[in-house]
Structure 1
């Protein structure tokens, strides 16, 4: 898909905070290098490679020579699922001090995700190619007290200037996590696809945004011909309520057989312009805000 001149202007320099390039136990449409090469089609500035199972920092360091001549940068991060030991400050420390940019709290290991497993699979969430053990990774102990590891992770995120992401937590847990992060000096916080799995209400999203949290909406959920979760009017409603100042658009793509991120960004950006979103506002959500979160501005 080729962008119109207006869409090409908007996407020039864009940053994707949520790209599922491979390798990993979930089958992927492309690897990190292929994703970066494809990003050059629209002059993408950077994307963050997200694996639900491991820190992607080592992947990228091992492949660093393969990125020579490619303009799109790729950064790593870590998701605190079972495969990295859950809420593991030691794994977070290594990831971030070796250049990682985002720490996602549990996704498929969160109690919320496990409760919504059938919905997630029906919505296109991939199945692992190998058998993996999944048990709930919880923020609280049996007495309901916040686990000390939560604060320890927040401390490392604050120290390194990284992004704290709420993963697939329950809205109440997510709000508590972000409160802990703010208390401990975390300045960059993001809620991914707030209206899917975590299933925040619009009012809850607005309240978090007032506390400094960015709402990250995934263009991969607004493709009418590829596993659509919502119509474009839902995205417009969230943008209007939260404001472009606290909204980020990412892809959450890379699943086998699905639209590539570049084409999804072209399609959804075109739809936003068709529905009256100003070019400067689209750039704020696609370029300026995510660049700020990664410390690229």
Structure 2
């Protein structure tokens, strides 16, 4: 048994990119479920930039549910998946064999924040989601937040900027959303503290510590881009700003240049442990918090 495999028993990785893609994957959805079951994991969440992954999750549960791993999916509101659209969200919430999406995410690549980071052209930047500093959120976000609140699913703030994430969390809370996840790997400690003080969970992913940050990858179109890496001490400081009680650790693995999700998650948990987090904190951040947020076992 490789060191750290025991950390995967009962774990929940809510960020697995095993779905079909325009760049190479290192496994299929069904492979990911089988691997998670062999490691004793409790659940995995499927992420997809091109469609609502609740359909893949429903099929995986229908075919491999007997293995004991709960599989859930949701919608990232990227243009290929329908964009920031009320109708796309309605479909996602009901799509499956009795259960639909468990999360709805703001775009991850078609945000003004990422478009500027990737040095996209003016027309592309203008087409991307931006949340204003003040005033109402752009339509149809208010209606989408109402749908998320009514269905009691997770609102993921996607890859907006830190100030935009704070505004999005405030708006979601005002709309009655109670389950909120904020990817925080590239934020500063003050932003992390602000979103968690509002009741959101902060997500930190292995991808941003990994060598994949050095490789130009194609995510949503023909352009390949890198993403800034985060050092282990930097990420550990951000986790401490959130506190283990509001932190969710995830793998964000599936791309071919990374190890398969269970291996990436194992390596990640060992790295976080080496930064001074004890087993109780690791269990909370890698299993308990995500299980509660995504209603695993409910």
Q: TM class by shorter-chain length?
A: 0.7 to 0.9
From 48, 67, 74, the equivalent of 1:70 is 67
3-state SS in 2 of match to 1:48: strand
Shift of 1:210: 0.5
> Alpha-carbon deviations, 1:271-297, whole Å to 9, x = none?
333333111110000010000111126
From 202, 205, 208, the equivalent of 1:215 is 202
Q: Distance in 2 between matches of 1:227 and 1:209?
A: 26
From 47, 52, 65, the equivalent of 2:49 is 52
TM-score (norm 1): 0.84
Change in Cα spacing, 1:26 to 1:92, as seen in structure 2 (3 Å) is: farther
Change in Cα spacing, 1:68 to 1:248, as seen in structure 2 (3 Å) is: closer
Change in Cα spacing, 1:163 to 1:75, as seen in structure 2 (3 Å) is: same
Query: Corresponding residue for 2:9?
Result: 12
Change in Cα spacing, 1:273 to 1:177, as seen in structure 2 (3 Å) is: closer
Query: Corresponding residue for 2:109?
Result: 108
> Alpha-carbon deviations, 1:202-246, whole Å to 9, x = none?
1111111101111100023224x6547233212221122210011
Are 1:201 and 2:188 an aligned pair?
yes
CA contact (8 A) 1:112 1:168 kept: yes
Change in Cα spacing, 1:241 to 1:140, as seen in structure 2 (3 Å) is: closer
Query: Corresponding residue for 1:190?
Result: 181
Pairwise CA RMSD of aligned residues? 2.4
> Which structure 1 segments of 5+ residues have no match?
120-132
3-state SS in 2 of match to 1:215: strand
Q: Distance in 1 between matches of 2:135 and 2:65?
A: 50
Shift of 1:160: 1.3
> Alpha-carbon deviations, 1:114-144, whole Å to 9, x = none?
111269xxxxxxxxxxxxx997332569x97
Q: Distance in 1 between matches of 2:78 and 2:190?
A: 28
Query: Corresponding residue for 2:242?
Result: 242
